[in-house]
Amino acid sequence: MKARGFTLVEMLLALALVGLVMVGLNTFVFSMTELWGRNLEPRRFDQHVRAVTRFLEHELRTAALPPTAAAGTPGIVPQELRTAAGATEDLLTFELPAGSRLLAWPERPLPEVVCALALRRDEGLVLLWHSRLERDYATDPPRETVLTPLATGLAYDYYDPAFRKWESLPALRKGTTGELEAPGRIRLTFTHGTLTRESVITLPTATEGLPVY
């Protein structure tokens, strides 16, 4: 018995079906590409917010937990600092023994780097820094490095045990005797166009035993 081949009608029908499938696949791929491109900017913005938050969490843990800070010793301290503009600001300071990968030294890098966080209206979130080993450490203002130009808010959260709630303040709080008080958290606001995100970083403290993450 001879093998029967495909007729011309069957071939045309098969080609038509394959064409319909390809059109459907192309429509699906193009719609997914359009959807992905439409959401690309919010995703990149969220990735930026997470990266800045993780970086600060790491640096603050390094400053506040052993071996940098001994148990019971505050590694993150609010202080009044003189900035490069000549003004004084109440800022949250912390020390990084080995510095940070973001610091661009004019000469060789030095250890024992004292840092502070500040918000600049036209610049964003800024890291102020200089080493205790620098010759003019006591007289020269710290250098400044922009961590992110998208930060538009920096607030300090204080916990009230009497009312069991957090209070968010735009500046560091002063106690009854006028000393600056360290907050329990810092709150960052990021803005890009119509997008706004907020991240909260709990400030670690050195305690006896292993740190809890």
- Beta carbons within 8 Å of 150's beta carbon, 6+ residues apart: 45, 48, 49, 124, 190, 191, 192
How long, in residues, is the chain?
Answer: 213
Return d(Cα 199, Cα 3) in angstroms, integer.
Answer: 72
Q: What is the pLDDT of residue 208?
A: 47
pTM: 0.77
Q: Which portions of the chain are predicted below pLDDT 70?
A: 1-6, 8-14, 16-38, 70-72, 207-213
Q: How far apart are CA 183 and CA 117, in angstroms?
A: 13
User: What does the pLDDT read at residue 84?
Assistant: 83
* pLDDT, tens digit, 9 for 90 and up, residues 103-143: 989 888 999 999 999 999 889 999 999 999 999 998 999 99
pLDDT in the model for residue 4: 59
- Cβ contacts of 201 within 8 Å, gap of 6 or more: 53, 56, 57, 60, 185, 186, 187, 188
| Angstrom distance (rounded) from CA 114 to CA 96 | 6
107: alpha, beta or left, given left = phi > 0 and alpha = psi -120 to 50?
beta
The Cα angle at residue 160 between residues 158 and 165, in degrees rounded to 5: 90
Q: What's the pLDDT at 92? A: 96
- Residue 212 has a pLDDT of 47
Averaged pLDDT score across all residues of the chain:
85
The tokens describing 73, both together, are 């010793």
| CB-CB neighbours of 151 under 10 Å | 22
CA distance 49 to 38: 19
